[in-house]
Amino acid sequence: MAKRTTLYRYLTGPDDAAFCHRVTEALSQGWSLYGQPTLTFDAAQGRVICGQAITKDVDVPYTLYKWDVGDYESCVAGIAKVEAELGPVDVLVNNAGITRDGMFHKMTRDQWDAVINTNLNSLFNMTRPVWEGMRARKFGRVICISSINGQKGQMGQVNYSAAKAGDIGFVKALAQEGARAGITVNAICPGYIATEMVKAIDPAVIEKSILPHIPVGRLGEPEEIARAVVFLAGPDAGFITGSTLSANGGQYMA
């Protein structure tokens, strides 16, 4: 099977580096049917923590590109450069996300706009430039990382919950448009994952206020989300589209 080019977008930081590392490991191990993958990363805000982590620990070829996923013209130019240097993008993983939490009666317009632009508008900005090529080649995989809070809502995260719910609507509508062209579009909704951010919470709070709400009794691992990405990107998931994969340990069953 032909080599596929994966464009994986993220915002860099300790959690993103860890998750990106796990996705890279999973792709390098799980994509044997595709041959050695070329992994292409773009980092909003221009930092390369994730790329450094991969270079150190993972023996898989990748190329690092940087642009602002919240700016459409930057995405168009960046993706054009990727495709000129590496070939067409066959798999797009939309993972960039930020939080600007606050109760709604105190939330500012800047908090709202920042989250909606990065977490929701960026789906259009990144997917639209690769969509026509996927349609022409009759193959594509678009995977959007949403959130449990896009499914159930979360107090103090009206902006984040609205954006992540919008991700799911984006997936369901676009999947219908792409199906006849061999393009699948799916969402993954993680729950509490053992990232650096979550592990920084007081262990007593995790034990008393978080774990009791997770039926499996533990946090998820980044590897578990990474392997869900690999599955949806691979050839065995060709009949799955418009779906939401909930990876939350049973905390919320949609």
> Are 249 and 158 in contact, with CB atoms under 8 Å apart?
no
**Residue 116, Cα to own-chain centre: how many angstroms?**
15
Rounded distance, CA 107 to CA 110, Å?
A: 8
Rounded distance, CA 145 to CA 187, Å?
A: 6
8, 34, 160, 192: the active-site residue: 160
Q: Which residues of 68-105 are buried (b: 16+ CB within 10 A; e: fewer)?
A: bbbbbebbeebbeebbeebebbbbbbbbbbbbbeeeee
Active site residue 8: no
Rounded distance, CA 77 to CA 80, Å?
A: 5
Catalytic residues: 160
